[in-house]
Structures are given as C-alpha cells and as structure tokens.
C-alpha cells in the first residue's frame, strides 16, 4: 500500500485527529471535540482517545479474516478497558469518527462511522464521497446542543466510536474492486469544510488538489476560515485537518 498522511492541528500541539498506516490497512479518526460537559465522566483527553483507538484498530485489522467492523468493536473494547476502572463512562466520555480501508486480495474494504469522509477516485477519474449522513440528519432536526448530544449512540440517532462496542456494528461497510480504483483519501471534516462550509472546492477538485499538494490545501482552508464573516463562523473557527492518501492506480 503506497500511502501518505498530512495533518494540521487547529491549535498547535492539540491535534485530536489520529491517522496511521500499517501493512495493507489505513485509518483516520477525528476526535469529537464536544464541550467538556458532554464527556464529564472521563478525565482523559479527546486526543488520548483517538490516538489509542487508532493504534489498536490498525493492529486488530491486520487479520484479513476479521471484518473491519469486528476489528473496530474489539479496539473499542480494548480502549475502554484502559480507563473504565477510573472513569464513569456512562456519564460521557471522549469519542471519535472512524474511517478505515484495507486492501485484501483484489478488493479494497472500507468502514465509515460518523461524519468524516472517504473519497474514492475511480479508474475513470470519477469521484465518489462516502460519509455517514446520520449526524447531519440529527443536527438538522434537533435544536440545541443538549438535544443533539442525547441522540449520540442511540437507535434513531447517530453513532460514533466511544466506549460502546455496539457502535462498530452501525458503521457503513463495503468493498470495491481494486481494478475500479485509482486512489482513495481518508479525510476529517476539517478537510471537507473546504467544500461544505467554505466553498473553495467541489469533491472532484478537492481530491485533485489533495493529491497534488495537501499542505497547500490546508493553508487555503486556514485562510478562508479566518476570512469567514462572524455570522457564518462555526463553533470552531479552525478545525484539525487530516488526509490519508492511498494510491492504487499502479497495481
């Protein structure tokens, strides 16, 4: 697997995204930087959680006989065991979105949980974006942070990796023949805000720019974030931005 990672923290030294490549597996997790009151049961940081989970998912996914969702469930259980004896996780703990891909035989398997995105570039150059839509649907129908948070990891709400192993079964999974793919990019929503918030790109132009110079794309995003009018600024003016690019076209 030929792959590379580019990541930039919104706040120096405080990157809550986590990404890695091991063998034929690549993962990208975006730590959910929700207000502290929604993770009051745990004293560990969001960055601690996302990095612990990313490492364990990479290891668990090395066995091709284990589905990516099962690997994620096992990794969630391992991380929970690190702190459940010192934290009251039912009162709320850190969480993360998850994107994972695995090259196996003649297919690329994928897993998508929550609102990070997998960008797939076909052999014909067409771009397809896979994102779990459920968090957006909850945000659209609920009013206020408390109401939205009440729908986290609930049936009819949205799902994210936290301390509940059952969240892994809610991930979107599938596979694509390698012959149909040129490239895939695992991106946090700090990257896709270039499309969704800032209007700098569409999916196709974002994919092309990231393949050419991801650092330049992130610099462009940072400038546009600073220039947003006050009324259009999100809660986090800047967000951690991470892309993992996996090249497949040479096979």
Digit-coded pLDDT (tens) for 146-196: 999 999 999 999 999 999 999 999 999 999 999 999 999 999 999 999 999
Cα–Cα dist 183/202, whole Å: 17
Residue 34 has a pLDDT of: 75
Name the band, by pLDDT with cuts 50, 70 and 90, for residue 38: confident
Residue 249 has a pLDDT of: 66
Cα–Cα dist 149/157, whole Å: 9
Digit-coded pLDDT (tens) for 80-119: 999 999 999 999 999 999 999 999 989 999 999 999 999 9
Strand partners, 19: 28
Q: Which residues form the domain of 240? A: 2-247
Name the band, by pLDDT with cuts 50, 70 and 90, for residue 20: very high
Question: What does the radius of gyration of the chain's CA atoms come to, in whole angstroms?
Answer: 17
Digit-coded pLDDT (tens) for 209-234: 999 999 999 999 999 999 999 888 88
Q: Alpha helix locations (H) across 150-213?
A: 189-196, 203-212
CATH number at residue 202: 3.60.40.10
Q: CA 188: distance to chain centroid?
A: 5
In this structure, what token pair is assigned to residue 63?
A: 């066995």
Cα–Cα dist 26/7, whole Å: 14
Q: Is the pTM of this model over 0.85?
A: yes
Name the band, by pLDDT with cuts 50, 70 and 90, for residue 251: very low
Contact (CB, 8 A) for 159 and 69: no
Name the band, by pLDDT with cuts 50, 70 and 90, for residue 23: very high
Cα–Cα dist 149/28, whole Å: 23
The total number of structural domains in the chain stands at 1
Residue 197 has a pLDDT of: 95
CA atoms within 13 Å, Cβ hemisphere of 144: 3
- DSSP secondary-structure letter at 38? G
Q: Tokens 């059952």 correspond to what residue?
A: 166
- DSSP secondary-structure letter at 251? -
Q: Which of 66, 55, 56, 50 is nearest to 102 (CA)?
A: 66
Cα–Cα dist 108/173, whole Å: 11
Q: Tokens 């690190």 correspond to what residue?
A: 82
- Whether pLDDT at 235 is above 90: no
């Amino acid at each position: 697997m030929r792959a590379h990672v580019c990541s930039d923290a919104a706040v120096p030294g405080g990157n809550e995204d986590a990404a890695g490549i091991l063998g034929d597996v690549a993962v990208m997790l975006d730590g959910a930087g929700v207000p502290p009151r929604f993770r009051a049961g745990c004293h560990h940081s969001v960055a601690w959680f996302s990095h612990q989970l990313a490492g364990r998912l990479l290891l668990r996914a090395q066995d091709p006989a284990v589905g990516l969702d099962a690997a994620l469930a096992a990794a969630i259980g391992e991380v929970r065991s690190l702190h459940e004896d010192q934290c009251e996780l039912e009162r709320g703990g850190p969480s993360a979105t998850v994107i994972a891909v695995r090259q196996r035989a003649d297919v690329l398997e994928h897993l998508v949980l929550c609102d990070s995105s997998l960008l797939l570039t076909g052999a014909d150059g067409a771009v397809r974006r896979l994102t779990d839509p459920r968090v957006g649907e909850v945000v659209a129908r609920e009013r206020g942070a408390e109401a939205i948070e009440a729908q986290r990891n609930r049936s009819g709400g949205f799902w994210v990796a936290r301390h509940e192993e059952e969240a892994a079964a809610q991930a979107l999974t599938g596979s694509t023949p390698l012959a149909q793919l040129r490239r895939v990019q695992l991106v946090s929503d700090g990257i896709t805000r270039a499309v969704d918030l800032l209007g700098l790109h569409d999916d196709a132009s974002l994919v092309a720019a990231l393949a050419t110079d991801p650092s330049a794309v992130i610099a462009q995003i940072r400038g546009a974030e600073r220039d947003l009018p006050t009324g259009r600024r999100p809660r986090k003016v800047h967000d951690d931005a991470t892309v993992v690019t996996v090249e497949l076209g040479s096979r």
